[in-house]
Structure 1
């Protein structure tokens, strides 16, 4: 652990951001697996359980609204394979961003998180596209 901390300090802020950002992709994929394998009943419960595994000591990281809302927005619209459409989030913006990203990926699957986000919004980025791309790369999105 000490080596990891020293390495992250050496690599700098951007490397730490990338490491953190990829956790939300991992949370989303684990959440889908939990629902698909019937370990939990809803994507809301699945996200909570998955987030706790990746952030056991950070409630704020577990409850980060933007990636949660992007994930739940896709689920709500029936865009995630194995998860029934339903009412899962009150978010309008992050749900819209995730759905717009889905359309952009359909047209150009090679887009990166940064390219997707710049095509969608000029606001600060908060890991929504990592969630969408992780699910796309697993083949779990319904176009």
Structure 2
């Protein structure tokens, strides 16, 4: 698991333990600790918006549905939500991040940017709502 996967897990735990008021606050705090203040890795939007998009849809255990993303961030949210839907239908995709991404993209050639790391880490740690 990479650092963005760890960030998603840590942010979820931080929010659920009431150590942060919002999922965004939890993400910012945990990425500050993992990457350092205001570094490019800490500011990276794709994994952050994948995490916040899952939170927004009520797919992260313990995080209520809400408005956590900006309209401009909807693609990364859509990728993450689609990945969860695909995993619900075919949990074997957990073993192949690249195949999961390929299915999310529906044939469009595009490099993933840690969105799948967030989804897979949350899934593997039982932090995705399955129903």
* Fold-level similarity (TM above 0.5): yes
In 1: Cα distance, 2:36 partner to 2:61 partner: 27
Match of 1:45 among 17, 21, 25: 25
Match of 1:137 in 2: 124
In 1: Cα distance, 2:44 partner to 2:92 partner: 27
SS at match of 1:92: helix
Report the Cα offset of residue 57 of structure 1: 5.6
Match of 2:98 in 1: 114
Moved over 2 A (4+): none
In 1: Cα distance, 2:124 partner to 2:16 partner: 17
RCO comparison, higher one (Cα < 8 Å, 6+): 2
Match of 2:15 in 1: 35
RMSD of aligned alpha carbons: 1.3
Count of residue pairs the alignment pairs up:
123
SS at match of 1:39: coil
Match of 1:77 in 2: 57
Deviations 1:38-73 (A, max 9, x none): 101110000000101110166210011100010000
Rg larger in 1 or in 2?
1
Report the Cα offset of residue 29 of structure 1: 0.3
TM-score, scaled to structure 2: 0.89
Runs of 5+ consecutive residues of structure 1 not aligned to the other structure = 1-20
In 1: Cα distance, 2:37 partner to 2:54 partner: 27
Runs of 5+ consecutive residues of structure 2 not aligned to the other structure = none
In 1: Cα distance, 2:100 partner to 2:47 partner: 14
TM-score, scaled to structure 1: 0.82
In 1: Cα distance, 2:7 partner to 2:123 partner: 14
